[in-house]
Chain A
């Protein structure tokens, strides 16, 4: 028994270490096609985005439609740090710090949505998030320091497969811990019945702040990875179309499920690349696939279930979260 327990304790760092080593050797050797590697990195970034939005839209049952705004804040903050604040030679070492700072800046911005959410709910909160997305995009367009609509340039290519793996894994692990803690139960209780939750002692304001901040933190992390992968960001990269793309990945995969986010992000990203030979018809077929998937699997691919590895061992026996609506 003891051996099993200590093995379990080591599982998380072990997976992290092996994964990092593996992704490091893959990107340094020529084993994997650069294109495949790039697509895998897109999948990772999209997974972080999807999972972080899932926290708000799936677990908490709100409808945030402006998730790209947090990505933008993380991307711009981290880019400024690696370009303006620290010299180029320090870049690679400062990178994880820049990513985390980007995430924190974005988490602070998450407060701006969390506080209205105390009073505003449902479709009205959706409009608040939409408005926030438009406001920030418009501000970036008007600030010359950020390059305006021309975009922010001179970003070094610091995102590698290793970092994408590392941050995807951290997002998965941290959000899993959150979801299966009492904060996470509080989040679901807000979705199920906010009035009852607050009467039963759930500090709903605190839970909402935590959820929005955690969600926007990881969106910011994804934004930072995105910026240092493409080496170019502009307000257009974070417009309402990007937000709807993330939204589609969340509902395609399945709400309130970490496995759903893994599947939603991978299926969407890979399909978009696989359909390339269709040329202009790719973007006609893609939404059709989505509509058919929704009709035949209205609850997303995972349909509210969870992959058992993602559930902490103490919680395994519990039947899974099911959705009211």
Chain B
């Protein structure tokens, strides 16, 4: 009996060791062979876990960006056309899996740059790994300021970039919009306190709104996965606000708005970029009509780049691209631009070229990097929901 167990244990250990090392070695060989005319870029997306819709959009846009480029013949690097190959890894929305995906992409797939992860929980550990390995990474969607800053040294990280604006900027824009454009004096806030992004937005909004002479009449929270907001909404109803700021993910928004209407709340809602998904229109129906929210981009923009992107994406995936898709597409655009400018597919050269990008015409507007931080200079779009569509309302640039 015991001998059998010993054998099982030994066998299992041997098998797993062999499997890992062969998996590693075989990958290494193929990448060495292929390296000549292919540039490999890694993608880390939340395909499973708590925000699978984000991962799905990221994956779709990444595949489309690469396909578009390869169909046009590839990327011109130092006088030679090179094809792009992407390797997509799932991080299941968990920090440790994001880290192992990143490590795998770097050491086994030999990627020159990484796009993703989208959630800050995954992006921060990933950025620590890319920093050590000296591989540039661009997170399309992580708005946490700490993703691009090394907290220990208080300095910007050298290899971490993002394609989106920062939460603090967005929160300020929204608070001023509520105060000045919507003429609100009293605001109520309802947000998901277990999400670092949404909590940050709520805090910045509250501070800015109060600093500018407004008052916050109700500050209500819920936790991820909650579906019943009746208690919070009843409190909000009783505090008679002029506007309700609702930094919630688009999948929660329809529930909140519909339950509010059922409780007889008529106060307008104001949303953040977490609303920005074409799914919201389907999910919310007429209930969200007339509300404003901030976004990274507008699918109804008149910019030719955006029009082409939306058309291509819809043709491929039968779905209007959300902001994660647009930002992922832009992240790829930035990397391609940087490779072209550097004339090299070396990680260090790409990193230097990214930090020098000025006025890149992306789907989500003009993107520039200052050279000092990984945070881009770009504007916030305010959208209005009208007749079952997102309509461009105004741009706010820094």
Contact = CB atoms under 8 A, between A and B. Distances in A.
A237 to B, nearest CB: 5
A119 interface: no
Interface in B85-114: 88-90, 92, 94-97, 99-101, 103-104, 106-108
Contacts of B95: 230, 232-234, 236-237
Highest count of chain A CB atoms <10 Å: which of B48, B96, B103:
B96
A35 B12 contact: no
A301 B103 CA distance: 29
A263 B9 contact: yes
A151 B105 CA distance: 25
B397 interface: no
B146 A153 contact: yes
Interface in B138-178: 144, 146, 151-152
Contacts of B20: 36, 39, 270, 273-274
B124 A232 contact: yes
Contacts of B120: 150-151
A301 B16 contact: no
User: Dominant SS at the A interface?
Assistant: helix
B104 A35 contact: yes
A232 B128 contact: yes
A145 interface: no
B200 interface: yes
B196 A154 contact: no
A149 B152 contact: no
Contacts of A33: 24, 107-108
Nearest to B133: A34
Highest count of chain B CB atoms <10 Å: which of A35, A141, A306:
A35
B128 A150 contact: no
A280 B121 contact: no
Interface in B293-347: none
Interface residues of A, number: 51
Contacts of B24: 33, 35-36
Contacts of A267: 12, 16
B144 A266 contact: no
A7 interface: no
A122 to B, nearest CB: 27
Interface in B191-232: 193-196, 199-200, 223
B94 to A, nearest CB: 7
Interface in A190-232: 226, 229-232
B89 A150 contact: no
Contacts, number: 134
A57 interface: no
A259 B9 contact: yes
Interface string B112-136: 0000000011001100100011000
Contact of B21 (A36, A141, A231, A237): A36
Interface string B13-29: 10010011101100000
Interface in A117-156: 138, 141-142, 148-151, 153-154, 156
B244 interface: no
Interface in A39-89: 39, 42, 83, 88
A13 interface: no
B263 interface: no
A280 B99 contact: no
A266 B10 CA distance: 12
Given A34-B103, A307-B9, A141 B48 contact: no
B19 A274 contact: yes
A280 B16 contact: no
B194 A305 contact: no
B88 A151 contact: no
A138 B224 CA distance: 12
A299 interface: no
Contact of B144 (A150, A226, A282): A150
Contacts of A36: 20-21, 24
Contacts of A232: 95, 121, 124-125, 128
B243 interface: no
A238 to B, nearest CB: 10
B8 interface: yes
A154 B152 contact: yes
Contacts of A270: 16, 19-20
A38 B90 contact: no
Contacts of A39: 20, 100
Interface string A151-185: 10110110000000000000000000000000000
B1 interface: yes
A302 B108 CA distance: 32
A310 to B, nearest CB: 10
Top 7 closest pairs, chain A to chain B, by CB: A154-B151, A150-B196, A153-B151, A149-B196, A230-B125, A232-B124, A283-B48
Given A237-B94, A241-B94, A279-B88, 4 more contacts: A236-B121, A279-B47, A283-B90, A306-B2
Interface of B: 1-2, 5-6, 8-9, 12-13, 16, 19-21, 23-24, 47-48, 88-90, 92, 94-97, 99-101, 103-104, 106-108, 120-121, 124-125, 128, 132-133, 144, 146, 151-152, 193-196, 199-200, 223
